[in-house]
Structure 1
Amino acid sequence: MYNNTFGNIFRLTSFGESHGKAIGGVIDGFPAGITIDEDFIQQELNRRRPGQSSITTSRKEADAVEFLSGIYEGVSTGCPIGFVVWNTNQHSSDYDNMKDIYRPSHADYTYTQKYGLRDHRGGGRSSARETIARVVGGALAKLALKQLGIHVTAFTSQVGIYRLDKDYTQYDLSNIEKNPVRCPDPELAKIMEEYIFNIKGEGDTVGGVISCVIKGCPVGLGQPVFGKLHAALGNAMLSINAVKGFEYGQGFGSMNLKGSQQNDIFYNDNGNIQTRTNRSGGIQGGISNGQDIYFKVAFKPVATILMEQPTVDIHGNDTVLKAKGRHDPCVLPRAVPIVEAMAAMTILDYYLLDKASHL
């Protein structure tokens, strides 16, 4: 297996499986001299960890990160940053009945065909638990971006049929962490929470959309051909488990508009060139233009449902699967920090690439 590394200059290599001893990673290319706030990094992991509310999986994990290298007296040294998060609460026996069965819409079949074997315990390497490493890498990237005045904020904007109906600028994004769904609209958040809870009670799952806003990004990140910034963000988001779609700016929502309605008009604001609108989502020609970068990420319903489903076993025989174990009825609340992490790592990587191209 290869392609376990993300990034160009800022690079994260992750390792570990859902029911193995640990999840961890090595970060290369992180700038020296950045103050490392380990409490902040742990807080980011806490936002992703299981068991945080009645609408997430009941698996209990501390998800405490342990740094092994690259940090001295609270400051990054420029050396590779190694870290590990130990798994402590696996219930591997919950997956015994799935050992020889292909779970619908999971990676079981493709993984087995490609590698000739698979770790059936929680999905092994294909489990979303691998995203622990991404959240650590993203938290470190956020600390570096903070010094540049760049901030990344994601939130749940749709669960099933329930969605925000206004532009992100019309909401108070400080409300995101005040409810378990991580939606900036408190009233809609209550509806979403109840809906997810009821879906969980049925043994079923539901998907939705996470929106993300990047503020303070400078002009000039990205290349105009194969290094487009929006393509890099799309690649990052589509690498997350259960993601089915990505759009930036107005995306598919602008397909009914004419060019005269869609274009972002430039104007001179006391010597600074600005645009009167931001339908482009902060990126034009694959290069950031200094406006807010915003995009949406679509997540499918979690594939593991706690009700009977027809399927086949590894020999091709018809059978019925009823999953056991502890699973999320909706991945969105715990995926918000993962989306932020992948966005932060992408922006920091492209910032470093831009600086390197001007040496």
Structure 2
Amino acid sequence: MGNSFGKLFKITTYGESHGAGVGVVIDGCPAGITFDEDFIQLQLQRRKPGQSKITTQRREEDLFEVKSGVFEGVTTGMPISLFIPNSNQRSKDYSHIAEKFRPSHADYTYQEKFGVRDYRGGGRSSARETAARVAAGAVAQLLLKQYGIDIKAYVSQVGDLKLDKNYQELDLSKIDHTIVRCPDEEMAEKMIDRIDEVRKDRDTIGGVVTGVIRNVPVGLGEPVFDRLHANLGHAMLSINAVKGFEYGSGFDGVSMLGSEHNDEFYTDEEGKVRTKTNYSGGIQGGISNGEDVYFNVAFKPVATIMKDQKSIDQEGKETTVSGKGRHDPCVLPRAVPIVEAMAALVIADNILINRTRKI
């Protein structure tokens, strides 16, 4: 049913936007991993609603509960179950669209596929589900810390405001210094002003989140169908509102010649094989080569806008959909920890898979 992700480090999420809560079962996490609850909670705080003027004003503390798989501060190797209660639902905000199809939402497709839909906040199609992913991704990051693997994501574009610097020119320790999660403070202020302007106009705006994975060991990823970049693409494109994914040189690479784009190998002072450039984005033949893996994720403008829109109801009659409730004018600031979480799940899964490849 598409509620699970991963092979050896596997997660299954459950719950709806206006149900009792959302949760995740993590199967395959090795035993003996220090279970840092403060770190997991921090990642959830970075994703939670109501954290600034440019995010939805729904108030959820997102305090998670451990139901299984942890004993005396470490993982036991058994399934880990985490639950995040909902506490600030306002289902009445959605009664007006119980029989209407909102433009660019999952209302129509869910109704046609299942014959029933939870219209309260979008039910299972709501971005509320991503809280469970962030919790699971934080556990994956605890595993990856043992390998020295570091994952960072940041907002690099809002609408037509694009940060013309690559990640190597930025101080990624400053990502959380601004509410928009852009490490360039000058551009961050412009982005915040633009989002606030759109919010006041009762509209929404999209943009790009850039991800960087450092200290990736050589050899992650499988030939053909389970290439590392294909896994990452699957992960990112499964996030609500994502419309595009590129890694390495991405679409800009089409304007280069092969002689310009090829990454030349050399041996560094420590005898390690490196590449002089990294247009490959740390992946060649679908397998990591030891360089940084970097990628961009494009997010559309949030579909719920506070303006009247023309649509139809379940009987096919023309109607007007009026925006109500509490919604993000821009999903990007809260999407940063989601991108990091999904990247961590992919890398953790591939780390475990790689253990099976050599004696």
Aligned position for 2:344: 344
Aligned position for 1:357: 357
Aligned position for 1:248: 247
**Cα deviation, residue 358, structure 1:** 2.3
Q: Deviations along 1:8-46, whole A, 9 cap, x unmatched?
A: 000110100000001011100001101011011000000
Query: Are the equivalent residues in 2 in contact too, given 1:158–1:209 (CA < 8 A)?
Result: yes
Q: Deviations along 1:157-207, whole A, 9 cap, x unmatched?
A: 000010110111001111110000000100100010011011011110000
Aligned position for 1:55: 54
SS of 1:123 mapped into structure 2? helix
**Cα deviation, residue 83, structure 1:** 1.1
Aligned position for 1:192: 191
Aligned position for 2:295: 295
**Aligned letter for 1:24?**
G
1:19 and 1:357 map into 2 onto residues whose CA distance is: 43
Q: CA RMSD in A?
A: 0.7
Task: Count the aligned residue pairs.
Answer: 358
2:357 and 2:256 map into 1 onto residues whose CA distance is: 37
Query: Are the equivalent residues in 2 in contact too, given 1:210–1:298 (CA < 8 A)?
Result: yes
| 1:162 lines up with 2:130 in the alignment | no
* Counterparts of residues 79-158 of structure 1 (less than 5 Å): 79-158=78-157
Query: Are the equivalent residues in 2 in contact too, given 1:14–1:24 (CA < 8 A)?
Result: yes
Q: Deviations along 1:213-241, whole A, 9 cap, x unmatched?
A: 00011000011211100000000000000
| 1:223 lines up with 2:222 in the alignment | yes
**Aligned letter for 1:151?**
D
**Aligned letter for 2:57?**
S
Q: Deviations along 1:79-130, whole A, 9 cap, x unmatched?
A: 1001101000000000011111000000000110000010000000000000
SS of 2:224 mapped into structure 1? coil
| 1:321 lines up with 2:291 in the alignment | no
2:335 and 2:305 map into 1 onto residues whose CA distance is: 18
**Aligned letter for 2:353?**
L
**Cα deviation, residue 298, structure 1:** 0.2
Query: Are the equivalent residues in 2 in contact too, given 1:208–1:332 (CA < 8 A)?
Result: yes
| 1:275 lines up with 2:275 in the alignment | yes
**Aligned letter for 2:35?**
I
SS of 1:302 mapped into structure 2? coil
1:55 and 1:333 map into 2 onto residues whose CA distance is: 8
1:150 and 1:166 map into 2 onto residues whose CA distance is: 23
* Counterparts of residues 21-60 of structure 1 (less than 5 Å): 21-60=20-59
* Counterparts of residues 197-216 of structure 1 (less than 5 Å): 197-216=196-215
Aligned position for 2:286: 286
**Aligned letter for 2:235?**
A
**Cα deviation, residue 325, structure 1:** 0.2
Q: Give me the identity figure in percent.
A: 59
**Aligned letter for 2:10?**
R
SS of 1:304 mapped into structure 2? coil
**Cα deviation, residue 267, structure 1:** 1.0
SS of 1:343 mapped into structure 2? helix
Query: Are the equivalent residues in 2 in contact too, given 1:98–1:323 (CA < 8 A)?
Result: no
Aligned position for 1:178: 177
**Aligned letter for 2:351?**
Y
SS of 1:153 mapped into structure 2? strand
SS of 1:97 mapped into structure 2? helix
1:68 and 1:358 map into 2 onto residues whose CA distance is: 35
SS of 2:255 mapped into structure 1? coil
**Cα deviation, residue 357, structure 1:** 2.5
1:276 and 1:209 map into 2 onto residues whose CA distance is: 27
Aligned position for 2:307: 307
**Cα deviation, residue 150, structure 1:** 0.2
1:124 and 1:260 map into 2 onto residues whose CA distance is: 50
**Aligned letter for 2:237?**
L
2:286 and 2:69 map into 1 onto residues whose CA distance is: 33
TM-score calculated relative to the size of structure 2: 0.99
Spell out structure 1 runs of 4+ moving beyond 4 A.
Answer: none
SS of 1:356 mapped into structure 2? coil
Aligned position for 2:235: 236
**Cα deviation, residue 289, structure 1:** 0.3
Aligned position for 1:68: 67
**Aligned letter for 1:329?**
P
SS of 2:355 mapped into structure 1? helix
Aligned position for 1:335: 335
